[in-house]
Amino acid sequence: MSSEAINAGTTLAASSGTASDPRPGRWSASARQLIGFILPVGLALTWEVLVALKWADGRLLPTPSKVIATLVGLAQSGDLGNHILATLQRVALGFSFGVIAGTLFGAISGYWTLARRVIDPTLQALRNIPSIAWVPLFILWFGIFETSKVILIAVGVFFPIYLSLSGAILGVDRKLVEVGRIFRFSHREMITRILLPATLPTYVIALRSGLGLGWMFVVAAEFMGAEQGLGFLLIDGQQTGRPAVILASITAFALLGKLTDWLLASASARFLTWQDSFKPAE
């Protein structure tokens, strides 16, 4: 058989394989986004129907329509916007400080053995302290104002970034590092040309994990004498016996957490376009 015939057959097989593959284009981009709403919307509608039919009591667990009405009322009065801005400011500051500290200590611990032996045991011990245990100490040290709240959030963000980054550096393929040493890379070149690209995917996941913990820690932070914030709104709903307000604040936390996580993931995706990642079947 001639080489032309073989090439033609190979091309035909490849093209027919591509055409018969059902995965590409099976779902449009908008459809893939909407799929994620099926479960929460379905659960919300189910509870709405159960309460409407008197098959369930909506007093302690209000219906989604009542929660939405509460959010709308808070938004119209301006209270919701003030609470959201106060919480966002605390999360943004705490996340920024936690990222800086976690990145610095994680990089040092992963890159220098002596530094890791000195600081890692202490940080690993501190990592296991519950967040609520820091509250009385931070109040004693920094008072009940914004400083103690921001530091508590930064502590929550710090540990996942430190642990993931130091572990990612230690997990870099030894052959890559040896190649850098053969070419006599400086410390800066070793970091920028080998370690940084190798650890970037794990670092992005660590940032998202740290952001999620930042949203968790802000609730504990706003228990410390806050006068504004979604955590304050949640406690106010508990003290005044308004479950709709509690669920409204929880809903706001969920939406803001999801939005900020999506923004972070979208912003970091452009730095990971070089990855030839596994694409699961749809």
Q: What is the pLDDT of residue 14?
A: 43
In a domain, 154, yes or no: yes
Cα separations in angstroms, 37 against 21, 34, 43, 51, 261: 27, 5, 10, 21, 16
CATH number at residue 265: 1.10.3720.10
Q: What gap in Å lies between CA 29 and CA 203, rounded to an integer?
A: 27
Residues 101-125, mean pLDDT to the nearest whole number: 91
In a domain, 279, yes or no: no
Report the interhelical angle of 79-111 vs 230-239 (nearest 10°).
120
Q: What is the pLDDT of residue 198?
A: 82
Contact 206, 160 (CB under 8 A): yes
In a domain, 8, yes or no: no
Q: What is the total count of domains within the chain?
A: 1
Q: What is the pLDDT of residue 249?
A: 92
In a domain, 1, yes or no: no
What is the per-residue pLDDT across 18-66, written as a single tens digit (0 to 9) for each?
444 444 455 566 666 678 778 888 888 898 888 888 888 878 888 888 9
Kindly report the pTM of this predicted structure. Answer: 0.80
In a domain, 266, yes or no: yes
What is the per-residue pLDDT across 171-217, written as a single tens digit (0 to 9) for each?
888 887 788 788 878 777 777 778 888 888 889 999 999 999 999 99
Tell which wins on pLDDT, 173 or 253: 253
> 3-class SS at 21?
coil
What is the per-residue pLDDT across 127-165, written as a single tens digit (0 to 9) for each?
888 878 888 888 888 888 888 899 999 999 999 999 999
Q: What is the pLDDT of residue 52?
A: 85
Give the chain's mean pLDDT: 82
pLDDT higher than 90, residue 281 = no
pLDDT higher than 80, residue 1 = no
Q: What gap in Å lies between CA 22 and CA 38, rounded to an integer?
A: 23
pLDDT higher than 60, residue 221 = yes
Compute the CA torsion angle 3, 5, 11, 15 (nearest 10 deg): -170
Determine which of 14-23, 80-89, 232-241 has the lowest per-residue pLDDT on average: 14-23
In a domain, 246, yes or no: yes
Residues 264-281, mean pLDDT to the nearest whole number: 74
Residues 249-278, mean pLDDT to the nearest whole number: 84
In a domain, 166, yes or no: yes
Domain that holds residue 167: 67-272
pLDDT higher than 80, residue 263 = yes
In a domain, 77, yes or no: yes
DSSP code at position 53:
T
Q: What is the pLDDT of residue 24?
A: 47
